[in-house]
């Protein structure tokens, strides 16, 4: 997912959150965010062995134009230092009017090494 430049939600960024882009390109197609259905955050333990918990991702379930229901997320830290700007990802996609298989919720299964 590649956010359109200059379209990030300024109010979200003022709260210290990533600004959900108003439009983006995914798999060569442009989408506009028509509405936010739900948003949430997920956290995880310190990766260096400490006992602290850290905010890892910001999630949004959105309605787009063309009409799709997508769950997208932004990693607080890029997964790969060589691609530091690759922080936005599409998690689920469903035709508008049909629920996504996971209901828009992240899987409880952990992915190691990603």
- State the pLDDT confidence band at 91, using cuts at 50, 70 and 90: very high
Residue 14 is encoded by which pair of tokens? 């003022």
Other beta carbons within 10 Å of 58: 21
Who has greater pLDDT, 75 or 77?
A: 75
∠ CA 64-28-34, rounded to 5°: 10
103: left (phi over 0), alpha (psi -120 to 50) or beta: left
Residue 12 has pLDDT above 80, yes or no: yes
Among the listed residues 13, 15, 6, 24, the one whose alpha carbon sits nearest the alpha carbon of residue 88: 24
* Over residues 12-39, mean pLDDT: 92
pTM (2 decimals)? Answer: 0.72
Q: Virtual CA dihedral for 82, 83, 87, 90, nearest 10 degrees?
A: -130
């Amino acid at each position: 997912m590649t956010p359109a430049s200059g379209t990030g939600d300024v109010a979200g960024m003022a709260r210290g959150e990533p600004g959900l882009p108003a439009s983006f390109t995914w798999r060569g197609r442009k989408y506009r965010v028509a509405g936010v259905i739900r948003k949430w955050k997920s956290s995880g333990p310190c990766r260096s062995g400490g006992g602290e918990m850290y905010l890892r991702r910001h999630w949004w379930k959105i309605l787009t134009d063309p009409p799709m229901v997508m769950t997208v997320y932004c990693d607080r830290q890029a997964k790969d230092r060589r691609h530091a700007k690759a922080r936005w990802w599409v998690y689920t996609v469903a035709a508008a009017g049909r629920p996504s298989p996971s209901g828009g919720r992240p899987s409880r299964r952990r992915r190691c090494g990603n």
